[in-house]
Amino acid sequence: MQALRAELIWGLLLIPAAAAGGCFLIRPNAPRRALLVLAALGHAALTLCAWSGAVRPTAYGWIAIDAASLLFLSVTSILFLAASIYAVGYLAQEQRQLQSAPREPDLDEEPPFTNYPEATFTGCLLAFLATMSLVAVSRHLGLMWVAVEATTLASAPLIYFHRNSRSLEATWKYLVICSVGIALALLGNFFLAVAARSYGGTPIPLTLDDLAAAAGSLDPRWLKGAFLLLLVGYGTKMGLAPLHTWLPDAHSEAPSVVSALLSGALLNCAFLTILRVHGLLVAAGLGAFSRELLVDFGLISMTVAAVFLIRQADYKRMLAYSSIEHMGILALGVGIGGLAGLGALLHTVNHSLTKAMLFFAAGNILAVYRTKSTDQARGVLRVLPLTGVLWIAGFLAITGSPPFGPFLSEFMILKGAIDAHRPWIAAACLAALALAFIGMAGAVINMAYGTAAPGAAQRLDLSPIVPQREPLWSILPPLALGLAVLILGVYIPPPLGDLLRRAAEILHVQ
């Protein structure tokens, strides 16, 4: 396979960035939405090209695509493509609803609210894609830090799309907590730089390759301190408990498109940064230390999420806690290593696709029922048949039922735990998963099959209860994602399997 030109990487970064700039300049809505989809398509096309051959690194080795980058980049790209199609319809729908006269207040939100200008929304979406791509392809830890901070800043306006007090509160919490976390990560980077000082010689630059080559001569104390700080800092972005407090608020108040991207793509990118540092520690011989920390954080996240999932009254918050749980599973998988590590990488793909599908379905439900309460939004299968099917399928997938993808990856993690002679961890993991299943099942099944509460039906004028119109843009993306998850549950295509194995090797998670 011949090496592809390095311009491919620049294209991956600059196409969304330029499109973001264009969004701010284009006045009418329709061309701007077209630009969004075009940029997503371009990004996806370039990512597809990267599958076909090795890409030469560029920018003095600071930016390159290796197997791990390609994995996370592909997931991000697919998700963004689906999200862009969904967003076009969503924005049009929001515009119609704002323009049409009496805006009925949401059942439990204040009346009435205005939306952010669409230009800011679309522009920030594309900037978000650009910064996430930068996180995936950067090989210099400082650049990675800058990119992760940039994702926080690019996504904050997205959460505030519905300009009401709740989303404002969520945005503020997101900003402050993530900024503090990232500041700690910067301190961790400095610790790493100190560890990389070969006494008397020239300091080692903070690129992954140079650090890995000199891994033996890094000061272990400083390296451990750096890992702890980076885990706490980037773990805040990833949503590991107890640093997760911004996640439920941000995911529930943001528009569903944004929640899907946050859950599916952003948490993954934060995970990638942690993986890179973990790989460094393994290369330096301190793998046991980092693995233990990852296992601890993973178990705490799973437990906290499982507890909060029970009797959750807001279905978007429920999905957010489910994300926290799955991030815990990822950390746990990597912490155990071996087969579990490979399973964790597969799980990133499965979780992202499933969670995005669930959030899109939730967005459809929200659009019709105009409430986020699990009590009020009932009878989804009758009102929105296709969405209801997707909702139930997504629930089954995310809680780990066969034949969907997450079952396979979670099974790999559990088997890896048992293979590594840690049956108690596997037991704890299973218990948490069971709790999560119970918690979510109650809410999801009530929503899908229950009859709408009498008051709700009158207010929403859903009587007689007839199936509502489900536009294509709201069904196609989640359906495509769901099919992908279903396929991944029974058959992993060889290129994907090969990529996963290569990524696991690079990241030292095996």
Partner 1 sequence: MKVWLDAVLVLLILTNLRLLGSARLTVCIRTVAAQAVLLGVLPLFVQAGAVTFRVALLCAASTLLKAGALPWLLRRAAREANVRNEVEPLVGFTTSLLLGLALLGLSMHVADGLRLPGIEGPHFMVTVALFTTLVGLFVIVSRVKAVMQALGYLAMENGIYAFGMAFAVEETLLVEMGILLDVFVAVLVMGITIHHISREFDHMDTDRLSALKD
Q: Which residues bind partner 1 (CB under 8 A)?
A: 140, 142-143, 145-146, 149-150, 152-153, 156-157, 160, 163-166, 168-173, 175-176, 179-180, 183, 186-187, 190, 193-194, 197, 199-200, 203, 206, 219, 222, 248-249, 252-253, 308, 312, 317
CA dihedral 67, 72, 73, 77 (to 10 degrees): 140
Let me know: does 43 contact 16? Beta carbons within 8 Å.
yes
Which residue type does 201 have?
Answer: G
Q: How far is the CB of 248 from partner 1 (least distance, A)?
A: 7
Q: Which is nearer to partner 1, 187 or 486 (CB)?
A: 187
At 193, list the tokens.
């730089």
Q: How far is the CB of 232 from partner 1 (least distance, A)?
A: 12
Q: How far is the CB of 505 from partner 1 (least distance, A)?
A: 28
Q: Which is nearer to partner 1, 286 or 380 (CB)?
A: 286
150 pairs with which residues across the strands?
none
**Other residues' Cβ atoms within 10 Å of the Cβ of residue 187:** 15
Q: How far is the CB of 149 from partner 1 (least distance, A)?
A: 4
DSSP 282: H
Q: Which is nearer to partner 1, 127 or 283 (CB)?
A: 127
Beta strands 114-115 and 162-163 are antiparallel
Q: Which is nearer to partner 1, 413 or 443 (CB)?
A: 443
Q: How far is the CB of 148 from partner 1 (least distance, A)?
A: 9
Q: Which is nearer to partner 1, 203 or 242 (CB)?
A: 203
d(CA 73, CA 422): 32
Q: How far is the CB of 176 from partner 1 (least distance, A)?
A: 6
Let me know: does 39 contact 77? Beta carbons within 8 Å.
no
Q: How far is the CB of 417 from partner 1 (least distance, A)?
A: 29
Whose structure tokens read 């904050």? 156
Q: Which is nearer to partner 1, 150 or 440 (CB)?
A: 150
d(CA 114, CA 381): 30
Let me know: does 417 contact 425? Beta carbons within 8 Å.
yes
Q: Which is nearer to partner 1, 248 or 264 (CB)?
A: 248
Q: Which is nearer to partner 1, 19 or 159 (CB)?
A: 159
Q: Which is nearer to partner 1, 138 or 290 (CB)?
A: 138
Residue 461 gets the label, from left (phi > 0), alpha (psi -120 to 50) or beta, of left
Q: How far is the CB of 79 from partner 1 (least distance, A)?
A: 24
Identify the CA nearest to 321 among candidates 423, 406, 422, 251.
251
Identify the CA nearest to 316 among candidates 242, 399, 244, 254.
254
Give the number of residues written for the chain. 510
Q: How far is the CB of 193 from partner 1 (least distance, A)?
A: 4
Q: Which is nearer to partner 1, 146 or 214 (CB)?
A: 146
Let me know: does 36 contact 84? Beta carbons within 8 Å.
yes
CB proximity list for 7: less than 8 A, separation 6 or greater: none
Let me know: does 119 contact 31? Beta carbons within 8 Å.
no
At 197, list the tokens.
């000082």
Q: How far is the CB of 153 from partner 1 (least distance, A)?
A: 5
Q: Which is nearer to partner 1, 205 or 403 (CB)?
A: 205
d(CA 465, CA 459): 13
d(CA 319, CA 228): 28
Q: How far is the CB of 215 from partner 1 (least distance, A)?
A: 19
Identify the CA nearest to 463 among candidates 447, 471, 451, 473.
451
Q: How far is the CB of 222 from partner 1 (least distance, A)?
A: 8
Residue 244, H or E segment: none
Q: Which is nearer to partner 1, 176 or 438 (CB)?
A: 176
Distance of CA 223 to the CA centre of its chain: 28
**Other residues' Cβ atoms within 10 Å of the Cβ of residue 288:** 11
